[in-house]
Amino acid sequence: MRILISADMEGATGVTWPDDVVPGASQWERCRSLFTSDVNAAVLGFHDGGADEVIINEAHWSMRNLLLEQLDDRAQLLTGRHKTLSMVEGVQHGDVDGIAFVGYHAGAGMEGVLAHTYLANSITGVWLNDVRASEGLLNAHVVAEYGVPVVLVTGDDVACEDALGYAPEALKVAVKDHVSRYAAVCRTPGRTAADIRAAAKEAAALAVRHEPVHGGPFTVAVEFDAEHLAMAATVVPGVERIGERKVAYTSGTMYEGIRAFKAVTTIVSAAVEEQYG
């Protein structure tokens, strides 16, 4: 049994505001340990449940946040940027039996601690076939094309509720309860580690590959907080304006769809100026 963990940071234990997750910010170093604790608990739980191998794909910001030295020695860590499938890199090789979304969060325009989709503020909403989309929803459609089930989701309570829509059978662990975008009622790392480990042990039984699901075509619509960002996004072939601040494109597969989304967000990010984004 081979498990892939897609590890994001905004949904980690104790994380509530930007300084907790932005590399180099005042609280980031402290929260790296909390983030690593959540991921390590999942590693331990999956091995408790019979996994032979667990590989972790870093999915947050620079993708260089987890502390390798704190991980269980049986784990392997894929760290660094510029990967074909970004947050779910590794699922495409045909040897992954189940995937866990650890430290996930709600999407842009939703309630939830540090809610966003790829870009923290420039994107105000994403829709996949007219359904408001979080990173979890987008990534769930990607992994489905490779026959890999989502077996575990951790994050705040809103992220867990969101996961009911794209991974209803997966185990969910809320490590904190949303109060506002920058506030939450947080459980201690000792408690969340125990909860995640127990859930991962149970989730291992769900790690059974299925037939690939090809649900395309997929239409992705993206709304921005400024008109010029919609204009910038149309540089990507196939992306068209559908409103003053909104664009859309259609892809035959979610593999193509997520790569196009990455291109859009990369170009838009470069179009934001420091003072007048």
Active site residues: 116
Q: How many CB atoms lie within 10 A of CB 68?
A: 11
Is 135 annotated to bind a ligand? Reply is yes
Flag whether 10 is marked binding: yes
SS3 187: coil
Q: Are 194 and 154 in contact (CB under 8 A)?
A: no
Please tell me the distance from the alpha carbon of residue 196 to that of residue 23, in angstroms, as a whole number.
Answer: 25
60 marked among binding-site residues: yes
8 is in an annotated binding site: yes
CA atoms within 13 A on the CB side of 27: 13
| Rounded (to 5) percent helix, strand, coil in the chain | 35, 25, 40
- 161 annotated ligand-binding residue: no
CA 194 to CA 196: how far, in whole Å? 6
DSSP 188: P
For residue 48, the one-letter residue type is: D
Which residues have C-beta within 8 Å of that of residue 205, sequence separation ≥ 6? 49
Q: How far apart are CA 115 and CA 104, in angstroms?
A: 9
Annotated binding-site residues for Zn(2+) read 8, 10, 60, 105, 135
Annotated binding-site residues read 8, 10, 60, 105, 135
